[in-house]
């Protein structure tokens, strides 16, 4: 099984290595093969809503950049993880540049999912979706918003189970481990 | 007393020069012009990579009283160029810069449900609070692809309640007050009350008919065929 981490977090951040090490072990223990993409090192253009992926060559993004190597990984992951510093309650721009290109992985058609109108997934939906947000400082409103954004994306990508993990920049290894395990437990991945 | 003389509008759409965001901003600019309020528009995607352009926006913001964000929703948030622009503006300034300024957001997409715009509006609200601005409120409209960059009046009946809401927002901007109950009422009336299952059938029929006409496979899987083959 495949797990994919899209990281908008710069590797120079202290918390980066801690989160990466823990995820590698904990997700590896559940028989997932994990791919880790550092988006800060990728050349990714903004989605300009050209409709190529919906109306011209459905499913194929017209932009010839590093997303072309990320799309197959996204399409084939059972477990999708978004990692990002929290920017005004949402994902930061580094992660957002990749997330905005997600429409190539959806069908242009519509379906009713959880009582709302959505585009169905073009490939098999990820079973699990986890968002990990890094807070610079305590901010209740940012936390609430981040949970909202995460749950909305989980619905949009038709994930079967989801979890949101909120971490603080200065958190130590053990407390990060506790929080990440709580997320995995919430999704029923560990008991 | 009119406290607002200059408004800076930031649009989030990345689709070019004729977008629903432009249509809404142009409509508002015309209303505000009648009140002697100057509205200057910047498209995030045209400026977010250029240091000089960002400095120029900050220069314009310095003597403005209100920032207006008008953006489509991209994956439950604001589009990447707009997020990036907001991050960079925040990095280059302190709360002192934004003190006394007000902010309004107009967020739109194709979906009928308010929840599909909620996170993007909240992110705007968070930006306003983080920068120390006064948040006057955010409003959301579904069905915006129908506008297709046309003047709102030209679109006709579909934008009737949107225009009424924007008329009211222009008054809020003029007086520097929050988005009114009247604008909220118009926001609620904007999207026609069509059962989702009917809307779904209508949209899919149009998509499938266009696909047949253009001989395209809507269900293609160009990146991989099956998970097992990966």
Average pLDDT of span B191-203: 95
pLDDT in tens, A156-166: 999 999 999 99
> Per-domain residue ranges for chain A?
2-186
Contacts of B118 in chain A (CB under 8 A): 148
* A104: alpha, beta or left? (left if phi > 0; alpha if psi -120 to 50): alpha
Interface membership of B79 toward A (CB under 8 Å): yes
pLDDT at B1: 42
Question: So what's the ipTM on this one?
Answer: 0.96
Chain A: closest CA distance from residue B5 (Å): 27
Contacts of B225 in chain A (CB under 8 A): none
Total Cβ atoms within 10 A of residue B23: 24
Catalogue the E-assigned strands of B15-162.
Answer: 38-43, 66-72, 102-108, 134-141
Set of chain A residues whose Cβ sits within 8 Å of the Cβ of B222: 57, 59-60
CB-CB under 8 Å, A145 with B119: yes
pLDDT in tens, B162-173: 999 999 999 999
Query: What's the pLDDT score for residue A191?
Result: 83
- Crossing angle of helices B181-190 and B160-175, rounded to 10°: 160
For the ranges A111-120, B63-72, B217-226, the lowest mean pLDDT is seen at B217-226
CATH 3.90.550.10 fits A2-186, yes or no: no
Cβ pair B113:A109 closer than 8 A:
no
User: Given an 8 Å threshold on Cβ–Cβ distance, is B86 in contact with A88?
Assistant: yes
Most A-contacting residue of B75, B123, B225 (CB-CB within 10 A), to test interface:
B75
Residues of A in contact with B123 (CB under 8 A): 88-90, 145, 149
* Residue of B21, B126, B130 for testing the chain A interface, max A β-carbons within 10 Å: B126
d(CA B218, CA B169): 40
Say whether B92 sits in a helix, a strand or coil: helix
What distance in Å separates residue A92's CA from the closest CA in chain B? 7
Residue B119 CB-density burial (10 A; 0-12 exposed, 13-18 middle, 19+ buried): buried
* CA–CA gap between residue B134 and residue B136 (Å, rounded): 6
Say which of A111, A124, A149 has its CB closest to residue B227.
A124
CA-based nearest residue to B35, from B75, B6, B58: B6
Burial (0-12, 13-18, 19+ Cβ within 10 Å), A181: middle
DSSP H or E segment with residue A134: strand A128-135
User: If contacts are CB pairs under 8 Å, which of residues 117-156 in chain B contact chain A?
Assistant: 118-119, 122-127, 129-130
Q: What is the distance, to the nearest Å, from the Cα of residue B95 to the centroid of all Cα atoms in its chain?
A: 24
Q: Which residues of B touch A145 (CB under 8 A)?
A: 119, 122-123, 126
pLDDT at B229: 52
Closest residue of chain A to B115, computed from CA coordinates: A152
Which of A57, A72, A115 is the closest to B224 by Cβ?
A72
Could you report the per-residue pLDDT of B92-151, keeping only the tens digit for each?
Answer: 999 999 999 999 999 999 999 999 999 999 999 999 999 999 999 999 999 999 999 999
Residue B184 clears pLDDT 90, i.e. is over it? yes
Tell me if chain A has a CB within 8 Å of the CB of B198: no
The SS3 call for residue A75 is helix
CB-based contact B46:B53 (threshold 8 Å)? yes
Å between A127 CA and nearest CA of chain B:
13
Residue numbers in A near B221 (CB within 8 A): 59, 75, 122-123
- Which distant-in-sequence residues (6+ apart) come within 8 Å of B158 by Cβ? B143, B146, B147, B192
- Check B224 against A88: CB less than 8 A apart: no
The radius of gyration computed from the CA coordinates of chain A, to the nearest angstrom, equals 16
Minimal CA separation from A16 to chain B, in Å? 20
Separation of alpha carbons B13 and B34, rounded Å: 26
Q: Give the Cα separation of A99 and B145 in Å (integer).
A: 21
Distance CA B10, CA A112 (A): 33
Is the pLDDT assigned to residue B79 strictly greater than 90? yes
Write out the DSSP string of A20-40.
HHHHHHHHHTTTPEEEEEEGG
Percent of chain B's residues with pLDDT above 70: 97
Residue A105 in contact with residue B103, Cβ under 8 Å? Answer: no
For residues B186 and B165, the answer to whether their CB atoms sit within 8 Å is yes
Count the neighbouring beta carbons within 10 Å of the beta carbon of residue A68.
14
CA distance B76 to chain A (A): 6
Spatial separation of the C-alpha atoms in residues B57 and B205, rounded to whole Å: 44
Claim: this prediction has a pTM higher than 0.80: yes
pLDDT per residue, tens digit, chain A (191 aa), is 999 999 999 998 889 999 999 999 999 999 999 999 999 999 999 999 999 999 999 999 999 999 999 999 999 999 999 999 999 999 999 999 999 999 999 999 999 999 999 999 999 999 999 999 999 999 999 999 999 999 999 999 999 999 999 999 999 999 999 999 999 999 999 98
- In terms of Cβ atoms closer than 10 Å to its own Cβ (0-12, 13-18, 19+), residue B206 is exposed
A-B contacts (CB, under 8 Å): 157
The closest CB to that of B122, out of A91, A109, A148, belongs to A148
CA distance B144 to chain A (A): 14
List the structure tokens of B173: 């901007």
Q: Is the pLDDT of residue B24 over 60?
A: yes
Cβ within 8 Å, pair B112-A156: no
DSSP output for B151-180: -HHHHGGGGHHHHHHHHHHHHHHHHTPPPP
Q: The tokens 């909220």 sit on which residue? A: B184
Q: Rg of chain B over CA atoms, in angstroms? A: 19
Query: What is the model's pLDDT at position B226?
Result: 53
A125 → chain B, closest CA residue: B227
Burial (Cβ within 10 Å: 0-12, 13-18, ≥19) of residue B172: buried
Yes or no: say if B124 and B187 are a contact pair by the CB < 8 Å rule: no
């Amino acid at each position: 099984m495949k797990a994919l981490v899209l990281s908008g977090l710069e590797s120079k951040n202290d918390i980066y290595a801690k989160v990466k090490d823990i995820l590698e072990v904990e997700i590896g223990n559940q028989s997932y093969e994990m791919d880790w993409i550092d988006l800060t090192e990728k050349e990714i253009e903004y989605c300009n809503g050209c409709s190529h992926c919906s109306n011209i060559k459905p499913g194929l993004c017209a932009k010839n950049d590093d997303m072309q190597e990320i799309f197959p990984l996204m399409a084939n992951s059972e477990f999708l993880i978004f990692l990002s510093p929290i920017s005004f309650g949402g994902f930061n721009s580094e992660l957002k540049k990749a997330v905005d290109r997600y429409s190539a992985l959806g069908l242009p058609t519509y379906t009713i999912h959880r009582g709302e109108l959505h585009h169905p997934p073009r490939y098999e939906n990820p079973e699990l979706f986890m968002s990990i947000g890094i807070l610079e400082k305590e901010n209740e409103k940012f936390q609430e918003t981040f949970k909202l954004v995460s749950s909305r994306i989980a619905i949009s990508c038709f994930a079967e189970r989801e979890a949101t993990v909120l971490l603080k920049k200065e958190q130590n290894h053990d407390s990060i481990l506790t929080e990440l395990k709580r997320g995995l437990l919430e999704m029923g991945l560990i008991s | 007393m009119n406290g607002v003389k200059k408004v800076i509008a930031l649009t989030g759409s990345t689709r070019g020069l004729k977008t629903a965001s432009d249509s809404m901003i142009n409509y508002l600019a015309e209303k505000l012009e009648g009140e002697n309020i100057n509205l200057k528009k910047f498209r995030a995607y045209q400026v977010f990579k250029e240091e000089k352009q960002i400095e120029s926006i900050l220069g314009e913001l310095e003597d403005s009283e209100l920032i207006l964000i008008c953006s489509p929703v991209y994956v439950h948030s604001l589009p990447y160029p707009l997020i990036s622009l907001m991050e960079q503006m925040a990095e280059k300034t302190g709360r002192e810069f934004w003190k006394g300024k007000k902010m309004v957001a107009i967020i739109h997409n194709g979906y009928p449900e308010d929840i599909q715009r909620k996170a993007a509006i909240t992110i705007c609200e968070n930006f306003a609070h983080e920068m120390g601005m006064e948040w006057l409120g955010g409003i959301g409209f579904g069905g915006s692809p129908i506008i297709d960059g046309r003047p709102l009046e030209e679109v006709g009946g579909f934008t009737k309640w949107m225009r009424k809401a924007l008329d009211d927002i222009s008054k809020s901007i003029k007086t520097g007050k929050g988005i009114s109950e009247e604008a909220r009422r118009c926001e609620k009336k904007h999207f026609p009350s069509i059962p989702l299952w009917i809307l779904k059938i209508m949209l899919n029929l149009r998509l499938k008919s266009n696909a047949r006409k253009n001989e395209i496979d809507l269900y293609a899987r160009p990146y991989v065929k099956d998970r097992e083959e990966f």
